[in-house]
A and B are shown apart, each in its own frame.
Chain A
Amino acid sequence: MSSDAQAITSPVAEVPLSRRFGAIWWAALLASGALVLLLGYTLVSVSLLGVGVWGVNIPFVWGFDLINYAWWIGIANGASLFAAILVLRRHDLRTAVNRFSEGVAFFAVICAGIFPIFHLGRPWLFYWTFPYPATFQVWPQFRSTLTWDFWAISTHVIVTSLLWYVGLIPDLATLRDRARRRTTQTVYGVLALGWRGSVRHWAYHQRAYRLVAILVLPLILIMQSTVAFEFAVTLVPDWHETRQPLHFVATGLAQGLSIVLLVAVLLRWGLRIGRYIDEGDIDLLGKLVLASSLVSGYLYIDEFVFALLADRMAQEATLNRMTGDYAGLYWAAIVYSIVIPQLFWFRAARQSTVAGVFVGLSIGVGIWFDRFSIVVGGLQMDYLPSIWRNYSPTLVETGLFLGTIGLFAVLLLLFVRFLPVVSMFETRHDEHQEKSS
Chain B
Amino acid sequence: MGEGTPFDLDALRARLAAEEGPRLWRSLEELADAPDIRRYVEAEFPDVVQASPVDRRTLLKLMSASLALGGLAGCNGGDAGKKSPLLSQSHNMPGYTPGVPLTVATSLSLNGYGRGVLVKTQEGRPVKIEGNPLHPASLGATDVFAQAEILALYDPDRSGAPLQNGSPRSWEELTNFIRPVRNELVVAEGRGLHVLMPPTSSPTLHRLVAQARQLFPLAQWHVFSPIDDDNRQSAALTVFGRDVDLAYDLTQADTIVALGGDIFAEEPGHLRYAADYQERRRMQGRELPRLFAVEARPSLAGTRADERIVLRPREFEAFAQALAASLGANAVPPPPDVHPSVSRLAGELRRAGSRSLVVAGRELPSGVHALVHAINAHMGAVGTTIRILEPVRPVMSDARTLDDLVRAIAADQVSRLVILGSNAVHTAPADIDMADLVRRVPLSLHLGQHRDETAVACHWHIPEAHPLESWGDLRAFDGTVGLRQPVTMPLKPALSAEEFLGLMAGQNVDGRGLVQATWREAWGDGFEERWARSLENGIVEGTTSPAIDVAVRPEWVPKPTPPVASAGIDVVFVPDPSVWDGSYANNGWLQELPKPLTKLVWGNAALIAPETADIFGLSSGDAVDLTVEGRVLRAPVWILPGHAPGAVTLPLGYGRERAGRIGNGIGFDAYALRPSQRPWIATGGIRATGERLPLISTQQHHSLRSRDIVRVLAPGEAPARETEEQPSLYPEWPYEEHAWGMVIDLDACIGCNACVIACQAENNIAVVGPEEVAKGREMHWLRVDRYYGGDPASPDIYFQPVPCMHCEKAPCEVVCPVNATVHSSEGLNDMVYNRCIGTRTCSNNCPYKVRRFNFLDYQGTDYTPSPDAMNPQVTVRDRGVMEKCTFCVQRIGAARADARVEGRRLRDGEVATACQQACPTQAIVFGDVNDPGSAVSRLKKSARNYALLGDLNTQPRTTYLARIEAPMEKG
Contact = CB atoms under 8 A, between A and B. Distances in A.
Contact residues of A: prevailing secondary structure? loop
Contact of A384 (B700, B816, B819, B847): B847
Interface residues of B, number: 56
A234 B811 contact: yes
Interface stretch (B66-74, B229-237, B546-554, B831-839): B831-839
B856 A50 contact: yes
A209 interface: no
A56 interface: yes
Interface stretch (A35-43, A123-131, A273-281): A123-131
A142 to B, nearest CB: 9
Contacts of B707: 313, 383, 385
A71 B811 CA distance: 26
A61 B709 CA distance: 23
Contacts of A128: 817-818, 835, 837
Contact of B776 (A53, A57, A379): A57
B815 A121 contact: no
B343 interface: no
Interface string A95-126: 00000000000000000000000011111011
B856 A129 contact: no
A119 B841 CA distance: 11
A56 B837 contact: no
A51 B952 CA distance: 30
Interface string A310-347: 00010010000000000000000000000000000000
B844 A57 contact: no
Contact of B848 (A119, A129, A149, A384): A384
Interface string B124-138: 000000000000000
Interface stretch (B375-383, B485-493, B879-887): B879-887
Contact of A122 (B702, B787, B800, B881): B881
B701 A388 contact: yes
Interface string A128-156: 11000000001111011111011000000
B839 A120 contact: yes
A62 B844 contact: yes
A234 B772 contact: no
Interface in B821-863: 835-841, 843-845, 847-849, 851-857
B677 to A, nearest CB: 42
B395 interface: no
A354 interface: no
Given A144-B816, A145-B815, A49 B856 contact: yes
Contact of A385 (B704, B837, B847): B704
A60 B702 CA distance: 19
B815 A234 contact: yes
Interface in A346-397: 379, 382-390
A59 interface: yes
Nearest to B702: A385
Contacts of B818: 128-129, 138, 140-141
Nearest to B599: A386
B960 to A, nearest CB: 13
A53 B775 CA distance: 11
Given A234-B811, A385-B707, A387-B849, A138 B856 contact: no
Interface string B692-703: 000000011111
A58 B954 CA distance: 20
A386 B699 contact: yes
A48 to B, nearest CB: 10
Interface string A24-58: 00000000000000000000000001111101111
B705 interface: yes
Nearest to A122: B880
Nearest to B856: A52
B784 to A, nearest CB: 9
A385 B880 contact: no
B28 interface: no
Given A122-B881, A234-B841, A383-B949, 7 more contacts: A60-B776, A121-B881, A129-B818, A147-B817, A233-B815, A234-B845, A384-B847
- List the 10 closest A-B pairs by CB distance, nearest first: A121-B838, A121-B880, A52-B855, A57-B776, A52-B856, A61-B840, A386-B785, A146-B817, A122-B880, A385-B701
Interface of A: 49-53, 55-62, 119-123, 125-126, 128-129, 138-141, 143-147, 149-150, 230, 233-236, 313, 316, 379, 382-390
12 contacts: A61-B841, A120-B839, A121-B880, A123-B837, A128-B817, A138-B818, A230-B841, A235-B847, A235-B954, A382-B849, A385-B701, A385-B705
